[in-house]
Amino acid sequence: MTDVTITVLPAAPLHALEIWSNPTAVAARFKKAAGFALPAIGRSDGNDALRLIRYEPTVWLVEGDVSALPGLLADDGALTAIGGSVVRVQLSGKGWRTLLMEGGVFDAESPNFASGCSAATIIDHVNVRLHVVDDDICHAYVPLSYSEAMIHFWKTAALSLTL
């Protein structure tokens, strides 16, 4: 009896957008072009073409169409493709927060970790990046080489979630 479902999402383009100088100027250019501000750490935002998730002080994870971004960055930052290095895993159902406590150290059960939030942590010795899509769905970006081990760990833990 488990109330969490673990599914691997299909591979999709993913980029790391890094700003190394004039962050406020770049932020202004971005907001004007994209219609939403660069999200704060631990937050995500987007429009129908683009979704940005922030885990680091100077880097944003970007899903979707990045064609406009190099122009916006000019000499203040760079875009690097990193999609191949992660597998996106969807954890859905009421129990995803409890599941993330298994072998973890991050407070995924906290009410502050709500829809739109993001957090990177370590679970069962693997560096995992989490993104809360809504109350019943959380996406986990797992390093490709560890994904098979991580998914196996989650599936085993899901069996005894409610004990």
Partner 1 sequence: MMQFTCPHCGPRDQAEFIYERTVDAVVSLDAAPEDAMKSLFTRNNPRGVDEEIWRHTYGCRAWMVIARNRVTNEISATRAVGPEALP
Partner 2 sequence: MINFSFDGKTYQAEKGDTLAAALLRNGIGLVGRSFKYHRPRGIMTAGVEEPNALVTIGDGGRTEPNTRATDVFVYEGLVAKSQNRWPNLSFDIGSVFGLAAPVLSAGFYYKTFFGSAKRWMIYEYFIRKAAGLGNAPTKTDPDHFSQRAAFCDVLVVGAGPAGLSAALEAAEAGKRAILVEQDNILCASLIRDGQDRDGAWVESTQARIRAAGGRILTRTTASGYWEHDLVTLTQRIAEPGQIPLHGVAQRLWHVRAGQVILATGSIERPMAFAHNDRPGVMLSQAVRTYVRRFGVVPGKRVVIATNNDDAYKTAYALKAAGAEVVAILDARPAPAGADSGLPVYNNAVPLSTNGARHCLKSVTARINGLTQSWNADLIAVSGGFTPVVHLHMQAGGTLDWNDAAQAFVPAASRQNVTTIGGAANPDPVFNVVPVSKPKKSFIDFQNDVTLSDVDLAWAEGYRSVEHLKRYTTLGMATDQGKLSNMAALGRLAEKQGVAIPEAGLTTFRPPYTPVTMGLLAGAGAKDAGAHVRRLALYDVHAAKNPIWQPLGYWFRPRAYPAGNETLAQAAMREAKAVRSNVGMTDVSTLAKFEVSGPDAAAFLEIICATTVGKLAVGRGRYTFMLREDGFVFDDGTVWRLDENRYLLTSSTGGADRMATHISYVRQYLCPHLRVSAVNVQEHYAGIAVAGPQAKAALAALIGEEPPRHMSTVPAMISGVPVIVLAASYSGERAFEIYVEASHAGPVWAACEAEVTKQGGALYGLEAMEFLRIEKGHLVVGGEVDGRMTPHDLALDKMLNKAGGYVGASGLSRPALSEAGRRQLVGLEAIEGNIPEGAMLITGEGASPQGHVSAAAFRILDGGSIALGQLTDGFARHGEELIATSPTRGQMARVRVVAPHFYDTAGERYRD
Residues that bind partner 1 (CB under 8 A): 19-21, 23-24, 27, 38, 40-42, 55-59, 105-106, 119-122, 127
Residue 55 C-beta: closest distance to partner 1, Å? 6
Query: Which of partner 2, partner 1, none sits in contact with 47, Cβ below 5 to 8 A by type?
Result: none
Residue 82 C-beta: closest distance to partner 1, Å? 13
Q: Is 40 exposed, middle or buried (0-12, 13-18, 19+ CB in 10 A)?
A: exposed
Q: Which is nearer to partner 2, 35 or 52 (CB)?
A: 52
Query: Which of partner 2, partner 1, none sits in contact with 83, Cβ below 5 to 8 A by type?
Result: partner 2
Q: Which is nearer to partner 2, 20 or 47 (CB)?
A: 20
CA dihedral 106, 109, 110, 112 (to 10 degrees): 100
- Give the angle subtended at the CA of 134 by the CAs of 133 and 140, to the nearest 5°: 40
Q: Which is nearer to partner 1, 16 or 66 (CB)?
A: 16
Q: In what order do the strands lie in the sheet with 137-143?
A: 5-8, 86-92, 137-143, 126-134, 118-123
Phi, psi of 117 (to 5 degrees): -80, 155
Residue whose structure tokens are 């673990």: 6
Question: Which parts of this chain interact with partner 2 (CB under 8 A)?
Answer: 11, 16, 18, 20-21, 75-78, 80-86, 101-107, 109-110, 124-126, 143-150, 153, 156-157, 159-160, 163
Query: Which of partner 2, partner 1, none sits in contact with 81, Cβ below 5 to 8 A by type?
Result: partner 2
The SS3 of residue 34 is helix
